[in-house]
Amino acid sequence: MVRIATNSAYSAVLANLTSAQRRQLDAGDRLASQKNGDELKDFAKNAEMLTAMRTVQTRTEGYLSQNILLTERLVAQDAAMNKMIDAVGRVRQRITDALATNSGEGLMLEVEAEFRTAISALNSRFAGKPLFAGGQVADDPVTAQRLTELTDPMNAIADFFRNDDFRVKARLDDATVVTTGFLAEDLGTAMFEAFRDMQAFEEGPDGDFGGSLSQAQDDFLTAQLAAWDKVSDFLVDQAARNGMVQKRVEDVARDLGRRRDMTESMIGSIADADMAKAAADLAQAEFSVQAAAQVFTTLRESSLLNVLRA
């Protein structure tokens, strides 16, 4: 009589079926997530390298985000400085026109308007904070409102500025720190002095640019052209400095972008799944599951119970 025993056969088939199902699940996960795993333990010997690269990636992304915000601030500073430069340029042009036409009609009204434009530029804000106030962010850095305030003997030019001496600095990457802040007092002192001189002459005995220019007025305005040129040159220089910092930020950001792409590529070579291989592994695992299930069914039908029933 032939002895029929299926215990060992069942164990082998179940082990093969379980292994095939596990491979099927793993391949399915790789196809769905496009990753080789979601925990460091899934990457075994590459875990330490992957951790280091992700640390670098996080730091690089932080610098990039900061540099984007910094670029926007520098653009806002550039706009404010150019607003001042334009105001100074219009004052100079108006003086030139007065000399050319021998008439000061409306001159001081336009000077007053450009003074207010300059104040607005010095009090410009970015993200709700004044651009040129230094470390204090509660108040506008310039308090003057009218030209007549500049000639008040109780006031000095410095009294109209309430910025502190803190100049904002920023770290662009691990090795680069730049000074990005400008102070209202530095930008506005010479300009306010030129505005004050215009108003002081207007209030003096030779003033009142209301009609044809007197010889004294002509001489004064001619001398003022050089003063306003000096103010304009200074502001253009400051805007250029701001532009140089902006270019530096853009260069560093470009380098950080390349570094980020390289890091992502290195992480991808470890963490990203080979989709073609994952698809092939899934197909092979599904076939193995089907084969093991078929063997299990066949084995069950050839059990001792079925033989006895027969």
How crowded is residue 52: how many other Cβ atoms within 10 Å of its Cβ?
11
Q: Is 70 exceeded by the pLDDT of residue 271? A: no
Q: How far apart are CA 72 and CA 84, in angstroms?
A: 19
The answer for residues whose C-beta is within 8 angstroms of residue 73's C-beta and 6 or more apart is: 126, 127, 131, 180
Average pLDDT rounded to a whole number, residues 270-279: 53
pLDDT mean over 264-291: 57
Give residue 40's pLDDT.
44
Q: What is the mean pLDDT of residues 84-103?
A: 97
The answer to whether 196 and 150 are in contact (CB under 8 A) is yes
Tell me the mean pLDDT in the region 5-12. 58
The percent of residues in the chain predicted with pLDDT above 70, rounded, is 67
Report the candidate in 48, 71, 52, 57 with the shortest Cα–Cα distance to residue 259: 57
Q: How far, in Å, CA of 206 to CA of 113, rounded?
A: 22
- Of the two residues 28 and 184, the one the predictor is more confident about is 184
pLDDT per position as a tens digit, 31-76: 555 555 555 444 445 556 666 667 777 787 888 888 988 999 999 9
Q: What value does the mean pLDDT take over residues 198-208?
A: 94
In angstroms, the CA 53 to CA 40 distance is 13
pLDDT > 60? residue 9: no
pLDDT recorded at residue 48: 63
Each residue's pLDDT tens digit, 205-254: 998 898 899 999 999 999 999 999 999 999 999 999 999 999 999 998 88
| pLDDT on residue 149 | 96
pLDDT, tens digit, 9 for 90 and up, residues 130-139: 999 998 888 9
Query: Does the structure show a pLDDT above 80 at 304?
Result: no
Give the CA-trace dihedral at 239, 242, 244, 249, to 10 degrees: -150
Contacts of 40 (CB under 8 A, 6+ apart): 47, 50, 51
- Paired with 129 in beta bridges are 126
- Asked whether 263 and 42 are in contact (CB, 8 A), the reply is no
Residue type, 281: D
Number of neighbours of residue 141 by Cβ within 10 angstroms: 24
Max intra-chain CA distance, the chain: 140
| DSSP labels, the chain | ------HHHHHHHHHHHHHHHHHHHHHHHHHHHSBS-SSGGGGGGGHHHHHHHHHHHHHHHHHHHHHHHHHHHHHHHHHHHHHHHHHHHHHHHHHHHHHHHTB-TTHHHHHHHHHHHHHHHHT-EETTEETTSTT--SS-SB---SHHHHT-TT--GGGGB---S---EEEEETTEEEE----HHHHHHHHHHHHHHHHHHHHSTT---SSBPPHHHHHHHHHHHHHHHHHHHHHHHHHHHHHHHHHHHHHHHHHHHHHHHHHHHHHHHHHB--HHHHHHHHHHHHHHHHHHHHHHHHHHHTSHHHHHH-
- CA 134: distance to chain centroid? 20
The more confidently predicted of residues 173 and 23 is 173
| pLDDT of 43 | 47
Q: What is the mean pLDDT of the chain?
A: 81
199/204 Cα distance (integer angstroms)? 9
pLDDT tens for 164-191 read: 999 988 888 888 889 899 999 999 999 9
The tens digit of pLDDT for each residue in 109-127 reads 999 999 999 999 999 999 8
